[in-house]
Amino acid sequence: MHKANINAVAARWSYEEGIKRPYFHVKPLERCQLKNWKEYLDFEIEQKDQNRIIILFERCLIACALYDEFWMRFVRYLESLKGDNVEKIRDVYTRACTVHHPKKPNLHLQWATFEEGQGNFEKAANILENIDNVIPNMLQVAYRRINLERRRGDLDKACTLYENYISNSKNRTIANNIVVKYARFLCKVKNDVDKAIKVLLKATEKDKDNPRLYLQLIDLGMQRTPVDTQEIVGYMDMFIEREHADLEQRVLFAQRKVEFLEDFSPDIRQILKAHEQFQKCIKQAKERKKTKNDDTKTDTSPPKKVKTGDQTNVPPPPSVSSQSSYQYSSGPSGPYQSQQQFQSGQYGGQGGYQQGYQQYPPPSDPNYANYQNWQYGQGGPQAYGPYNQWGSYNYY
């Protein structure tokens, strides 16, 4: 017994000597102190003496109370033990979140997950509500609150939370992200497509040039059976007719409209009008790009000053602008580059919950390439330039 005690003390002596501050203090610990505590805990866990491990964790949390990683490590250890440790885990979370870390969202989210896993939905909702009040406008907390209500079946409360976050959001990008999720929730969970469309249309009144909202409207319109062609074309026209919207996005929407009408419209005249609109958008885009290139190539730098004196005045060198203009007009115009990506803004951190839109490649069906050979008396497929590769109106 004596030898075993001596060996145990000797094995731990180096770690004990490394503890310079065993008490709590608001000043941060040195790195060597934190490293010593981590190595000491690793050593005790390897020895597999449960009582010693728990005692060491409690000692560690006195000196390292301001470091949430040690609290989470203690929780993970307790969760790995056999038997009922629910109350002990709850006690650790309570001390960490209410005393030492009232503003650490990660700990509160983990605590809410634990309580929900125990079937204590009301406690989990209270935890999330408290951290939401302490740190408002955090997207990850907002989504967790909404999805908690959905999981416990209170759909009306979930709708109320969605609407509150949309109305109170000061960031337009975050508000649009929540609007898109709310519309999907109404369509897929509550089976209320009409209300989902109303929510999106209301959002387009505040952000009229956001293509993501219109794409979501098209998505919801495609969920109907049968498909209402006029409804979906109306959503596309709403964006195409926006003069201040991004011109490249307007070209893509005109392209989607042509393809959609090819697939669903019974009226060939409507398809011809869509082709004309598509050509018009491409022409505007090319003209804008040409103007932009001309402005870039024009040399606006002032001429070199010539020293006055005995030297004769040397005429300035010929302007480069005329050469650049000649070289530009003589060469072929570059292909119109379509916008490849639309960046929206979380889901934060929800993080996580950050979303984008990308143009999708043309359909892989080899027979679909025959669309490129169709002519409607408007200059043939060459009139479309590089937009001959059809994009997809169906982006999901």
pLDDT(328) > 80? no
The one-letter amino acid code at 381 reads P
Say whether pLDDT at 374 is over 60. no
Confidence label for 329 from pLDDT (cuts 50, 70 and 90):
very low
Position 145 in a domain:
no
8 A C-beta contact, residue 393 and residue 257: yes
Residue 96 resides in a domain: yes
Question: Is residue 191 situated within a structural domain?
Answer: no
Helix (H) or strand (E) holding 206: helix 193-206
At residue 18 the predicted structure's pLDDT band, cuts being 50, 70 and 90, is confident
Task: Look at residue 309 and tell me whether its pLDDT is greater than 50.
Answer: no
From CA 78, how far away is CA 66, in angstroms rounded? 20
Q: What is the pLDDT of residue 147?
A: 96
Asked, for residue 215, whether it belongs to a domain, the answer is no
Residue 66 inside a domain? The answer is yes
**Tokens of residue 126, six digits:** 């209270």
Is 80 exceeded by the pLDDT of residue 318? no
On whether residue 375 sits in a domain, the answer given is: no
Q: Is the per-residue pLDDT at 364 higher than 70?
A: no
When divided into structural domains, the chain yields a total of 1
Cα–Cα distance for residue pair 257/261, rounded to 1 Å? 6
pLDDT for residue 47: 87
Residue 34 lies in a domain: yes
Per-chain mean pLDDT for the chain:
79
* Greatest mean pLDDT range, 12-26, 87-101, 319-333, 344-358: 87-101
Residue 153 region by backbone torsions, left for phi larger than 0, else alpha for psi between -120 and 50, else beta: left
Which domain, by its residues, includes 52?
7-110
Rounded average pLDDT over 50-57: 94
User: What distance lies between CA 253 and its chain's CA centroid?
Assistant: 22
Per-residue pLDDT tens over the stretch 334-343 = 333 333 333 3
* CB-CB contact of 203 with 175 (8 Å): yes
Q: Which residue has the tokens 């609007």?
A: 179
What mean pLDDT comes out for the span 219-236? 91
* Domain contains 94: yes
237-251 pLDDT, tens digit each: 999 988 888 888 989
Both tokens assigned to 146:
């909404």
CA 280 to chain centre: 33
* Closest residue by Cα to residue 74 from 85, 62, 89: 89
**68 to 99, 138, 274, 310: CA distances (angstroms):** 12, 19, 59, 79
Alpha carbons 135 and 350: distance in angstroms, whole number: 14
pLDDT (0 to 100) of residue 303: 54
